[in-house]
Structure 1
Amino acid sequence: TVETLARFIDQRFYELNNLKKIDQQLVRSVESCRLDLRRFDVKFTANSSRPYFLGHEREDVVKHRQEFVKYFIEREQHFYTITNDAVPQWRIPTTAPTILLCHDESTYKCGKITAKRWIMPDNAPFYSKDRGRSIMCSDLLVMHPSGPFFSLTEKEYSEALKTYPN
């Protein structure tokens, strides 16, 4: 809320200037903070269209991903890959091999997602999705016959398609 912003500014002012607060008056009033936010066209709106859902992607991110994928497709003969058969098999590179390493992280959080937040026009920055503790799982994946490869059963694949149809 605007009051939270005003209290935050007040607290930081005294911290940064190494001063002791002697009264209850805020350095920047709630009304002034509200006017500042209006001038910046910031609105306190419903917390929907979060950048964590599929389909909410910036143009530069899409462009970078397309270039990234194109780079790998053009060099496919250098990588260890897996066939798309009923029983997948490793394909060995036909030229000097390149081993792909992928670092994957997922954060699982508990807590509540706020119903509203401050949003500036044409700018939806990443933010903490909720409050409370979180657990981070991290793994390093190696695209090489010496390591296992990930696959889904037909049932798991069908369930995944229900959640992520595109």
Structure 2
Amino acid sequence: MKLKILFGFLLLTVLSCDQRPIAKVVPIDQEGLKQVLVADNEKIKVINFWATWCAPCIDELPYFEKIGASYKNQLDVILISLDEAKSITTAVQPFLENHQIRSKVLLLDDPYAAEWIPLVDHHWDGAIPVTLIISKNKKQFYNKALTYDELEDAINKFL
């Protein structure tokens, strides 16, 4: 009996572990951002703009990690860092490792915010965090930090 309990516990532990590797930051420019913002016919895109120096951003990152793991066959979570490009190795990558971030992480290396912010949403004032959810038929922009329940409700509207 004890062996069955131990086996069940081990199996549950293995199944609940996230096997994805820690994210590696990939710099993109405005053209790269345009490609990210194109709807995918296969999966819903959940795009979050954040930075390591933004406390509300950091607070909500675990929700994106959890939602990405829970809905991995239905959506892609893309975290776009607005940190300075020179801080990739000194701040962003260490942050990802310390917080076990496994979602795709891009760093927007484009200083001309007035040009790329309207590409995301015309109502965006540049404050972060913000989230954009895109499917082939729908787009929704959230100009605030989200709770896990709000994020899940938003995603369920796309499923």
* TM-score category of the 2 structures, normalised to the smaller one: under 0.3
TM-score of the aligned structures, taking structure 2 as reference length: 0.24
Greater C-alpha radius of gyration: 1
Larger proportion of helix? 2
TM-score, normalised relative to structure 1: 0.23
**Larger RCO (CA under 8 A, 6+ residues apart):** 2
